[in-house]
Chains A and B, each alone.
Chain A
Amino acid sequence: MAISVLQERATDISTTGTTLTLAFSSNITAGSAIHCAGSWGLASGSPTCSDNVNGSYGSALSTFNNSSATQSGTHFNKNNAGAGATTVSFVPPSSDFRGICIREIGGTSGLDAGSGKTNGQTTPGTGAGVIVGTSTTPSAQPGLLSAICMDIKAAHAVAAAAGFTAGLSGASNQWVNIGSLATESLRYTSTAAQQAKFTDSTGGSADSYITASVLYIEAGTVALAGSGATITSGALAPSLSIALTGQGITTAGGILVPSSSIAVGGQRATVTPGTLGVALSTTVTGQGVTAASGSLAPASTLALSGQPASLTGGTVIPAMAAPLSGLISTAALGILTPALSGAIGGQGAILTPGAVAPNTDIALSGQSALSGIGTLSVSGDVTVALTGQMLSLAAGTIIPSSIDTGITQPGPLDWPPDRIADTAFRRKKKRRLREIEQPAHPVDPIRVGALGATPIPPAKTYDFRSLVELSGKSVEASRVEVDQEIARLLVEQQERDDEEAMTLILAALED
């Protein structure tokens, strides 16, 4: 629904008194704003405004006191009014010549902050549009200018200037005790400055005027830039071109779903039990990005770079190319799953009882990468570097899936093949064979068992020379005592003519 004035009424009285109450002719539509202007026969005082559905309207938007005419004008606003039969009460200090004008503004997301003004003029003239409000620049568009002009001296016919939508006017018997009253509105579609304009072709050179004007933002064109933007239950779903830059952006129970090109840059972005689903090309840069329980699921090309990025119970799923570079990236309960090409570079990357499961090309380079209870499962697709100062798993499993992770422990069985061809190694092999042929002392079978096989007491002697001869080698050797297992291994390797394996077994005997 395009923003517009849905209904309006006015009344005034000359008798001295206080409260002046007026009902809207029709029930208020939920979500409308109410613009209320009032006047009273003093040049001082601080009136209040309220209604039976929404309560107090708070402080006046602006007030103008005309000392020479001994008359004042003010106006109030109520955003997001409740539905129903509504009666608005204006309460000035006890005075005569009291008036009230009420307007329902439909299709609005509320007041354009700071746009409520009053402008006083004395004898501005009878020219067209010379009675003016304060020029005000909108923060967003489209929007609606709502203006109420009070002639506070005489009953002359004030009228809306050309180009404005006329509302109440003197012809409808408005404020004949105070003087006269006219209203107008204008829907604008740019952020150029807006100014109310009225004409009093009869009394303009003799009367005094107070023009109250305010800007309302059309629903769907929302700027949330206050110190706190809060949704306690329900959905806050601005659709387009929204800047959420308040100090705190909070949804206690509901959904905050800006859909595109959104900057969420407040000091804190918090979702308690709902979902913060930032869809596209979004930068979440608040000092704290917190999801107490629920999902923080920015879809693509996101930077989560606030000081702490925290998920108490739920899921943080940046899908693609997302750097999580806050001071702390924490998932207390749930899953921290950067899917692709994500760098988790915060000071602490902590998962308490859940899983960190990066798939590919992930660098965990924070000061500490910690999985308290659960699984830090680097699935080993390719190129995983765990280079933090601390890599700690309190209770669980670290599972590198490939032998090529770079976790090496040099030992006798992993000599590289190129060492077989090494000349010095061959000389070492020949020397050992000579020692076997002419042993200085028997080989200790227990030490042989220390190679890794079960230590077996000597049970039988073998003709080592005959074993060697089976391999086709010409070697003179005496009998040596070896355990059954070593003998069996030697036979097996000789039968397979596996010089490399045989050499390794013999070399191990050097120890």
Chain B
Amino acid sequence: MAKTQQISVPLATRSAGTYGPFASGNLPSTLVGYSLDFTNDATWPTDGSNVLTITVEQSNDAGSTWLFDASTTFTASPWHNRQGTVVNTSDWNVQLDNHGSTTRRVRVTFQLLQTAALGVTVSSM
């Protein structure tokens, strides 16, 4: 399904700390999920330690209340595509129930555990 960009955080080198939350507007009623496309650069750490925790929350009432939806951790290791080639982009897809709702939103929070260059685009699908 085609992606529709909702949030964009440009690639930049950021020190350890919490960034966000970055919230979307109301998502399409035909929503079946959302996608986060990440970008890094050659400075991405590779020592195996934890670099980042990213958390997604969703709202069903146009942002009045928020509920945890999904999270994951990134470790300090090069990113690869399915063929094993090192790349600077990565993708996270999360399925959502299609409620037909017109007041659904998502917001994203990053917690960088060490300095790293990172950018992210959040899209609905």
A binding-site residues for B, Cβ under 8 Å:
7, 9-23, 25, 85, 87, 94, 96-98, 154, 168, 172-177
Q: In the complex the two chains form, is A9's CB within 8 Å of B73's CB?
A: no
Residues of B within 8 A of A7 (CB): 97
A10 to B95: give the CA distance in the assembly, Å. Answer: 6
Residue ID in chain A nearest B71 by CB atoms:
A21
Asked, given contacts A10-B95, A11-B95, A173-B93, whether A19 binds B38 with beta carbons under 8 Å apart, the answer is: no
Give the total number of A-B pairs whose CB atoms are below 8 A apart.
92
Asked, given contacts A96-B80, A172-B32, A174-B95, whether A15 binds B67 with beta carbons under 8 Å apart, the answer is: no
B binding-site residues for A, Cβ under 8 Å:
1, 32-33, 35, 38, 48, 50, 67-75, 77-82, 90-97, 125
Residue ID in chain B nearest A11 by CB atoms:
B94
Q: In the complex the two chains form, is A18's CB within 8 Å of B90's CB?
A: no
Residues of A within 8 A of B90 (CB): 13-15
Interface pairs (5), CB distance under 8 Å? A9-B97, A13-B91, A18-B73, A23-B67, A173-B95
- Which one of B32, B70, B80 contacts A11 once the chains associate, using CB atoms below 8 Å? B70
A186 to B46: give the CA distance in the assembly, Å. Answer: 45
Please classify the interface of chain B as helix (H, G, I), strand (E, B), loop, or mixed, using the class held by over half of its residues: strand
Residue ID in chain B nearest A22 by CB atoms:
B70
Q: In the complex the two chains form, is A20's CB within 8 Å of B95's CB?
A: no
Asked, given contacts A23-B70, A172-B33, A173-B33, whether A14 binds B95 with beta carbons under 8 Å apart, the answer is: no
Residues of B within 8 A of A23 (CB): 67-70
Residues of B within 8 A of A14 (CB): 79-82, 90-92
- Which one of B33, B75, B94 contacts A94 once the chains associate, using CB atoms below 8 Å? B75
Residue ID in chain B nearest A91 by CB atoms:
B73
Q: In the complex the two chains form, is B95's CB within 8 Å of A15's CB?
A: no
A68 to B92: give the CA distance in the assembly, Å. Answer: 24
Asked, given contacts A12-B93, A96-B80, whether A173 binds B1 with beta carbons under 8 Å apart, the answer is: yes
Q: Closest CB-CB distance, A209 to chain B, in whole Å?
A: 16
- Which one of B74, B75, B91 contacts A177 once the chains associate, using CB atoms below 8 Å? B91
Residues of B within 8 A of A177 (CB): 91-93
A248 to B40: give the CA distance in the assembly, Å. Answer: 58
A7 to B96: give the CA distance in the assembly, Å. Answer: 11
Residues of B within 8 A of A172 (CB): 32-33, 95
Q: Closest CB-CB distance, A8 to chain B, in whole Å?
A: 9
Q: In the complex the two chains form, is A13's CB within 8 Å of B95's CB?
A: no
Q: In the complex the two chains form, is B94's CB within 8 Å of A22's CB?
A: yes
Q: In the complex the two chains form, is B74's CB within 8 Å of A15's CB?
A: yes
Q: Closest CB-CB distance, B18 to chain A, in whole Å?
A: 17
Q: In the complex the two chains form, is B48's CB within 8 Å of A94's CB?
A: yes
A197 to B86: give the CA distance in the assembly, Å. Answer: 36
Q: In the complex the two chains form, is A13's CB within 8 Å of B92's CB?
A: yes
Q: Besides the contacts A19-B73, A22-B94, what 9 more A-B pairs have beta carbons closer than 8 Å?
A: A9-B95, A15-B38, A15-B79, A18-B73, A19-B72, A20-B71, A25-B96, A168-B95, A173-B35
